């Protein structure tokens, strides 16, 4: 008796839930639909086969909802099948022993099928939740590992350089002081990039990255990226630009596109010298797209690993992590470009050597003047 009371209490609480109410509504409507289908096909099949239509809707209800709606669906199906398809028609009374046995076995089968299907669904959901929790735990571990290694390395260099300047002071030559100061600047900029990547990835993961679109020339964004890349290159070296003329304006969040391009170019510089990196743009008028390609002549990325490099904390040496880096750059890049309706793909470099990262961005349907006139 207490178990029955607990079950009824659980049923009442679940019925109060808006989602559960939809489940119960589905459980009631499904037998009605089954009745219409069975009435239509009755002329082609023996009458006792109509019970299979009701079993199907009970199974679907169990898979789509919960055990309680599945039981309700089984009971309603039992009553409607009895009312419409047993003799005498349009009555719950049954005069034939065969009909009584058919309906009884139907009810038992429907309840068992509904219960088993619902329990299997719950077990699958539990397994899914367990897998998600394990992935989260692995992500936390990877994040802690990244923080402990990639953040401590530039901090240690900065502490070492500043300690040397404090302890040796006047004993250092001007060139040595300049070298130590540049080292501190370089490591602090590297630390800033790591922090920005982590913040961007967090915003992407929580859906908090808002697009503040404006009209912008892609060449302007690329030139800003070149200025940011300059400290990572030797004085006389820089990536090569092949920018198409008269490109249409983009309606994008310029800072996000800039960060995505910076991450890709920075990643390419880990595997080759700056003058071997090429940034090009072109327009695909037939598909109404703008394409940006960043190529290098590094070791390349095997085809089977080209999707993995967009995973967070990817640690394969040829992927988005080399001697330094959090392994977030390309994952963030795909998220930022994807937020604009674009895509990021990896292909072979020129002459099948190195890597080509291809960014595709949709071009706006209207020009700034047309949009202003429309407004």
Q: What is the pLDDT of residues 195-245, one digit of tens each?
A: 776 676 666 665 666 778 899 999 999 998 898 888 777 766 889 999 998
Q: What is the pLDDT of residue 303?
A: 85
Closest listed residue to residue 216, CA positions, set 206, 224, 208: 224
Higher pLDDT, 3 or 36: 36
Neighbour count for residue 205 (Cβ, 10 Å): 13
Before 245, cis peptide (omega within 30)? no
219, 128: one domain: no
Q: What is the pLDDT of residue 4?
A: 45
Distance from CA of residue 278 to its chain's centroid?
29
Distance from CA of residue 114 to its chain's centroid?
33
Lowest-pLDDT choice from 60-69, 105-114, 225-234, 255-264: 105-114
229, 91: one domain: no
Distances (CA, A) of 51 to 40, 44, 65, 109, 327: 14, 14, 21, 10, 57
Q: What is the pLDDT of residue 11?
A: 47
Q: 144 in a domain, yes or no?
A: no
Query: pLDDT-based confidence at 291, cuts 50/70/90?
Result: very high
252, 113: one domain: no
Q: What whole-number distance in Å separates Cα of residue 200 and Cα of residue 203?
A: 5
CATH number at residue 300: 3.30.565.10
Q: What whole-number distance in Å separates Cα of residue 236 and Cα of residue 291?
A: 28
22-39: average pLDDT: 84
Mean pLDDT of the chain: 77
Q: 12 in a domain, yes or no?
A: yes
Q: 70 in a domain, yes or no?
A: yes
- Residue finishing a domain among 103, 132, 161: 132
pLDDT digits (tens, 9 = 90+) for 94-133: 777 776 776 677 677 767 776 777 777 778 888 888 887 7
Q: 125 in a domain, yes or no?
A: yes
Non-local CB neighbours of 92 within 8 Å, separated by 6+ positions: 79, 82, 83
347-356: average pLDDT: 87
Q: 224 in a domain, yes or no?
A: yes
Half-sphere exposure of 277 (CA within 13 A, CB side): 24
221, 116: one domain: no
Closest listed residue to residue 337, CA positions, set 321, 357, 308: 357
Residue 269, classified by CB atoms within 10 Å of its CB into exposed (0-12), middle (13-18) or buried (19+), is buried
Non-local CB neighbours of 30 within 8 Å, separated by 6+ positions: 57, 58, 60, 61, 73, 77
- DSSP lists the bridge partners of residue 133 as none
What is the number of structural domains in the chain?
A: 2
DSSP 234-301: -TT---EEEPPSSPPPEEE-HHHHHHHHHHHHHHHHTTS-GGG-EEEEEEETTTTEEEEEEEE-SS--
Domain residue limits at 65: 2-132
Distance from CA of residue 346 to its chain's centroid?
18
Q: What is the pLDDT of residue 321?
A: 41
Q: What three-state secondary structure class fits 32?
A: helix
């Amino acid at each position: 008796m207490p178990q029955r009371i607990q079950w009824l209490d659980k049923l009442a609480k679940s019925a109060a839930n808006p989602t559960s109410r939809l489940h119960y509504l589905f459980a009631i409507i499904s037998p009605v639909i089954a009745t219409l289908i069975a009435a239509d096909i009755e002329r082609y099949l023996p009458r006792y086969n109509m019970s299979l239509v009701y079993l199907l809707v009970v199974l679907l209800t169990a898979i789509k909802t919960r055990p309680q709606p599945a039981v309700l669906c089984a009971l309603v199906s039992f009553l409607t099948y009895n009312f419409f398809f047993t003799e005498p028609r349009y009555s719950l009374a049954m005069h034939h022993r065969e009909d009584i046995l058919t309906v009884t076995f139907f009810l038992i089968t429907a309840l068992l099928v509904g219960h088993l299907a619902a329990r299997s669904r719950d077990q699958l959901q539990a397994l899914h939740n367990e897998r998600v929790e394990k992935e989260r735990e692995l992500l936390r571990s990877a994040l802690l590992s990244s923080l402990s290694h990639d953040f401590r390395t530039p901090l240690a260099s900065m502490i070492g350089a500043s300690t040397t300047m404090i302890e040796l002071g006047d004993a250092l030559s001007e060139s040595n002081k300049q070298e130590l100061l540049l080292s501190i600047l370089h490591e602090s900029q590297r630390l800033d990039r790591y922090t920005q990547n982590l913040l961007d990835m967090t915003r992407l993961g929580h859906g908090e990255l808002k697009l503040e679109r404006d009209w912008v020339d892609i060449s302007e964004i690329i030139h800003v990226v070149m200025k940011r890349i300059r400290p990572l290159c030797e004085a006389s070296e820089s990536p090569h630009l092949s920018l198409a003329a008269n490109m249409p304006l983009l309606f994008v969040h310029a800072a996000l596109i800039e960060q995505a391009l910076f991450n890709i170019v920075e990643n390419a510089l880990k595997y080759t010298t700056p003058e071997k990196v090429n940034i090009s743009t072109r327009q695909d008028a037939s598909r109404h797209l703008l394409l940006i390609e960043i190529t290098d002549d590094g070791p390349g990325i095997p085809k089977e690993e080209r999707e993995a490099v967009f995973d967070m904390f990817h640690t394969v040496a040829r992927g988005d992590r080399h001697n330094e880096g959090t392994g977030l750059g390309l994952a963030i890049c795909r998220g930022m470009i994807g937020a604009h309706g674009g895509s990021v793909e990896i292909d072979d470099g020129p002459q099948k050597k190195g890597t080509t990262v291809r960014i595709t961005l949709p071009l706006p349907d209207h020009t700034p003047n047309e949009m202003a006139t429309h407004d």
